[in-house]
Amino acid sequence: MTARITGIGTALPRAFEQRDVWDRYFRAHFGGSRAAERIFRSAGVERRHGAVSPLDEDLSGASTGVRMRRYEQHAPALGHAAVAAAVEDAGLTPADVGQLTVASCTGYTAPGLDVRLAASLDLPADARRLLVGHTGCHAALPALAATADYVTAHQRPAVLLCVELTSLHVQPPTRDVQQIVSHALFSDAAAAIVLRPGDAPGGLELLGTTTLTDSTTQDHMTWRITDHGFRMELSPHVPEVLGKHVRGAIEDLLGGHGLAPADVRGWAVHPGGPRILDTVARELDLPATAMEHSRRVLREHGNCSSATVLLVLGDLLARGGLRPGDPVVAMAFGPGLTLCAALLRAT
């Protein structure tokens, strides 16, 4: 028994141009630093989305409490819109949903976002809920595995939602390069997928998942709660560490199904930044076109933390020209350092 992705939905807040937000906000925020400007211009991002745009409201000095109230204000509507779109795309109604899984690392409230969405979407009273919190950019893939386990065990559809509001966590002015890189990349989005039992028509069938964590590099990527929101620490050595592990992890995942990287017809790689995409392509000996969906999402939406890999999957399904039987690999990275990957097959 397997589970299949049969619907995808997204919801994006207001867009702003990378050049505009640099000129009108971050140039002064980072003291006119030429190094910061180079980082912004080389991030591979042309536009981003923000529930709270720094062009409208400067949250850099706000308390964590203020930021969490903004999360409560904006996250439910975005999440609702993404889930509703995914359920409609799958040809279902909310009454069909047996479980709602919500992944988010950018805000907290109780009752949680899962409770609020179950009510606003009018899910069945017996629908299960699973909240995956503070896992980071790779959260979509372990959440996908857990949601697929529910689908195969209970033979009922389920929804996975990733909603991230990174715009709430702009930090006070600094010359810290890691902070500048984070502010040049991150963006807001909500993305949802519907999984149905394996006999459902069409979509992407989930064949397997893998996780690899290099615990010797725990300090390379962190997401810490401070008095001024959540602070990202992002080492420049992250691509180097991932480069040591990505080929072995992907070959193990594919080898169990008699496949090699050259057999994969679609790659949905989390665009943590241009160097990460370059590293994955180089280590797996992939053609330049393999990362086109990831680079497009990075260019048009930025790094939306856990929601990003689902945005890339959506772009791949819409533009990738997949044929039945084509293998697809989704891959994401997060604190740990952790590499997660899923093998899917077009049906």
138: Cα separation from own chain's centroid: 7
Taking residue 333's Cβ as centre, other Cβ atoms within 10 Å add up to: 27
The residue to which tokens 């994969």 are assigned: 264
Which residues, at least 6 apart from 246, have a Cβ–Cβ distance to it below 8 Å?
Answer: 279, 280, 283, 284, 331, 339
- Quick count: other Cβ atoms within 10 Å of Cβ 284? 20
- Based on the residue annotation, tell me whether 105 is a catalytic residue of this protein: no
H or E element at residue 268: strand 266-269
At 317 the three-state DSSP class reads: helix
Other Cβ atoms less than 10 A from the Cβ of 125: the count is 6
Length of the chain: 347
Which residue in the list 105, 137, 162, 340 is annotated as catalytic?
137
The first and second tokens of residue 23, run together, are 């000129």
Is residue 309 within 8 Å of 144, Cβ to Cβ?
no
The reply to whether omega before 337 is within 30° of 0 (cis) is: yes
251: burial class by Cβ within 10 Å (0-12, 13-18, 19+)?
Answer: middle
**Phi/psi of residue 259, each to 5°?**
-120, 160
Measured on CA atoms in the order 210, 214, 220, 223, is the torsion positive or negative? positive
Positions marked active-site: 137
